[in-house]
Amino acid sequence: MSVERIVLAVAGSFILISLLLAHYHNPNWLWFTAFVGANLLQSAFTGFCPMAIILKKLGKQPGPAF
């Protein structure tokens, strides 16, 4: 799996998990959802993604997302 696909999978999982936590536990979890969405948006414009940097340092290979 490439870095881009891992980032997309983790971001999608975080969003779904935080939505479930907001629904069943506490609505403040929606702030985490907003943080993940904002990070995805800023990385689309700047190319800076902290998780991608960490995955590259761990030895994962970058590749095309689609």
Q: Tell me: the pLDDT tens digits for 29-43?
A: 999 999 999 999 999
Copy the structure tokens of residue 25: 């536990």
Predicted pLDDT at 59: 92
Which parts of the chain sit beneath pLDDT 50? Answer: none
Q: What is the biggest distance separating any 2 CA atoms in the chain, rounded to whole angstroms?
A: 37
Predicted pLDDT at 64: 76
Predicted pLDDT at 12: 96
User: In the chain, what are the domain boundaries?
Assistant: 3-57
Beta strands in the chain (DSSP E): none
> What is the SS3 assignment for 64?
coil
Predicted pLDDT at 13: 97
